[in-house]
Amino acid sequence: MISDGMLVVQSGSGTLQFPVDQVDAITALPAAALKQTLPASSAAEVSHATAVDILVRAALQEGLEPEFVRSVAMVESGLHQEAISPKGAVGLMQLMPTTAGQLGVDPQRSEQNALGGAAFLRRMLIRYNGNSALALAAYNAGPGAVDKYKGVPPFPETRRYVVKVLAEYARQQRAQTEKSLQAEKAGPGTSSEDALRAETAKAGKPDGDHTAVQR
């Protein structure tokens, strides 16, 4: 805006003023500069999308359904890598440092955190013959507790956890089915998640090595 021979520029909650005869041109900021001024909500959306891709890749690499691994991460951390529990569990999949060490991953790095969590889930699913409730109980309370009680331990926290993850898993499966139906109606086109599935299927584990999840 020009007022009394001055160019008035809005800056935050205030303004900057420049003599008009000293302004040669006004140029738009490059995209890189604009990215630094994204509102918090946009940054959160980008972070969420990145977390989903990381979890999908980790799940497929371990031969698991992405919806199952993502459901665990959603309940564990809300898909936040910076989450740290009062007991010291870290990241997307809330890995304890000792567990991460046994799995050979760095829990502070999101990709390794997701891969470590998916690998541990796979181990538990194999251990309990694909029984997702027992695998989740072992993820939450440890396999020792599941073996001791010969089933889901009678801990309220663990029982709530198993129910929450399975409910989220069912919700995500419904969402994936609806998404697939919509994609069929829309015609050719591949989502980023579908591309990850295809890419991992080519380079990852063979079809026969995938772990079934029983609800």
Task: Look at residue 136 and tell me whether its pLDDT is greater than 50.
Answer: yes
User: Distance (Å, rounded) from C-alpha 166 to C-alpha 154?
Assistant: 17
Domain membership of residue 5 (yes or no) is: no
**CB burial string 148-165: b at 16+ within 10 A, e below:** eeeebbeeeebbebbebb
pLDDT digits (tens, 9 = 90+) for 79-124: 999 999 999 999 999 999 999 999 999 999 999 999 999 999 999 9
Whole-number pLDDT of residue 34? 35
Q: Nearest-CA neighbor of 196 among 66, 91, 68, 92?
A: 66
Q: Give the least confident one: 55-59, 67-71, 137-141, 202-206.
A: 202-206
Domain membership of residue 6 (yes or no) is: no
Residue 158: alpha-carbon gap to chain centroid: 22
Averaged pLDDT for residues 144-173:
97
pTM for this predicted structure: 0.69
CA dihedral of residues 54, 56, 61, 65 (deg, nearest 10): 150
Dihedral sign of CA atoms 114, 118, 123, 128 in order: positive
Whole-number pLDDT of residue 98? 95
Domain membership of residue 174 (yes or no) is: yes
Q: Nearest-CA neighbor of 152 among 169, 176, 182, 132?
A: 132
Task: Look at residue 18 and tell me whether its pLDDT is greater than 70.
Answer: no
212: left (phi over 0), alpha (psi -120 to 50) or beta: beta
CATH code at 58?
1.10.530.10
Averaged pLDDT for residues 199-210:
49
Instruction: Mark whether 111 is an active-site residue.
Output: no
Whole-number pLDDT of residue 202? 56
Whole-number pLDDT of residue 184? 83
Q: How many domains does the chain have?
A: 1
What residues form DSSP beta bridges with 84? 90
Helix boundaries (H) for the chain? 31-35, 40-61, 66-77, 97-103, 110-127, 132-141, 143-149, 156-186, 192-203
Band of residue 77 on the pLDDT scale cut at 50, 70, 90: very high
Through-space distance between the first and last CA atoms of the chain, rounded to whole angstroms: 63
Domain membership of residue 209 (yes or no) is: no
**Catalytic-labelled residue, pool 76, 111, 184, 193:** 76
Spatial strand order of the sheet with 2-3 comes to 2-3, 6-11, 14-19
Domain membership of residue 24 (yes or no) is: no
Task: Look at residue 143 and tell me whether its pLDDT is greater than 80.
Answer: yes
Q: What is the mean pLDDT of the chain?
A: 80
Indicate the pairing of strand 6-11 with strand 14-19: antiparallel
Domain membership of residue 166 (yes or no) is: yes
Domain membership of residue 38 (yes or no) is: no
Whole-number pLDDT of residue 37? 39
Domain membership of residue 208 (yes or no) is: no
Q: Which domain holds residue 165?
A: 45-191
